[in-house]
Structure 1
């Protein structure tokens, strides 16, 4: 399915978006009912878990999902969103359709029904979401080695960096200090995949706590 834009500008806020995602995940057929269980927005993308039940209460039969104990199934959905000249629009995909955006929170994945095919698009999508969630969120002062060197705009590379911040107005923004040059660089979360913590800021700045912990083990 392509993009659908609302030219009446009805969607103006986060609350409006969530209400629209809820509406889009709420529909009935002659035999089934679908209702939103949970939705989360990551960047400009909404991730949703929607529950399908039979209208007569009988257990569902589905080619993709294992039926849950109550006879229902819960599937994942992805809603890409953007604004164009003030008009909000979306593109929706069910997880088995092979969506590219793969940053669904673990709280969404935990709700979804098991899959019958371990080689399905949905299974691969869920694994990419788990891989994304597993990327560490480093603290200020943590020294790390990236899985592979990152090429910078001047053609140089860096691989060992230390997490820090710089100020822009009243905001603190995450950046990384390059080991070799001392320069600062912004890194995407994706570039931290597979990185290794070389030294922890907590251990380096808490000698008293380290001594206390060592004494507890004596």
Structure 2
């Protein structure tokens, strides 16, 4: 009998900016041991609407129920992508933003003090199809461990800094047009030592969404440093909505 035949939802994981799907590897291992089918989406990081369209296409390809979990900027994408998806049963925000309609990541991260991202970003131009240029954002490699992954093994954090995937500037400033958490039950993991998305902002958004909330003493890269508690919360959301 397959996991889906047994009624287990597929877990769809959405990474955020400055990371890739491998940032979920530890969480995936925990979920797979519990029998969950898992898809870690390669979030394009080109803009909220483009990214959400892509992620929604992945969700729509899944037969059976889905629990979505997102990290960081990925929360904006999930919030937009999951709206109206009948198979999405729960949303899990992991050290993440959960915007309301009309809000952007850039706007939200300045709502409360504590983010070190604004002073740690290097802007790099890239060529657009059809001509012209736009801007991508990188965290300075020497600042990456402190800002993003302070509790991750230093050798691993250094590799993460080198392999980071840049979001476009548009991805950070584009405003969401849908808010799936208004109709889909949500869970939130607050990373209390987060220097990317301030913990007080995470708490504010979780309370606004009526989200079931847990707090973990961890950096922004909590899925890397503490995959067990992240997997536990996803498991709790899946069981609660089964």
| TM-score with structure 2 setting the length | 0.20
Higher relative contact order (CA 8 A, sep 6+): 2
Larger helix proportion of the pair: 2
Larger strand proportion of the pair: 1
Tell me which structure has the larger Cα radius of gyration.
1
